Amino acid sequence: MADTILTLRETEDLFRTLTFTVLGIDLDDEETDNNDKVRLSWHTYGAPAWKITDDIVFLRVATVPDAYIQQRESDYQDADITEEAINVVSAYTRVWSVQWVLYGPNSFDNAEKIKNAMYVQTIKETLAAKNMYLILNVPNVTRIPELYNGQWWKRADFSATFNEQVTIRTKVPYITGTDISLVTEDKGVIKINGNSTS
CA distance 132 to 93: 10
pTM for the full model? 0.79
CA distance 74 to 145: 48
- Measured in whole angstroms, the distance separating CA 151 from the mean position of its chain's CA atoms is 36
> pLDDT tens digits for the chain (198 residues)?
678 899 999 999 999 999 999 999 887 776 677 778 888 887 777 667 889 999 999 999 999 988 777 788 877 766 656 667 778 888 999 999 999 999 999 999 999 999 999 999 999 999 999 999 999 889 999 999 999 989 999 999 999 999 999 988 887 777 777 777 767 777 666 666 644 444
CA distance 156 to 129: 29
List the Cα angle 178/184/185 in 5-degree steps: 155
Distances, alpha carbon 152 to alpha carbons 105, 126, 145, 170, 176, in Å: 11, 36, 6, 54, 71
Q: By three-state DSSP, how is residue 174 classified?
A: coil
User: DSSP labels for 24-42?
Assistant: T--TT-SSS-GGGGEEETT
Domain regions of the chain by residue span: 8-192
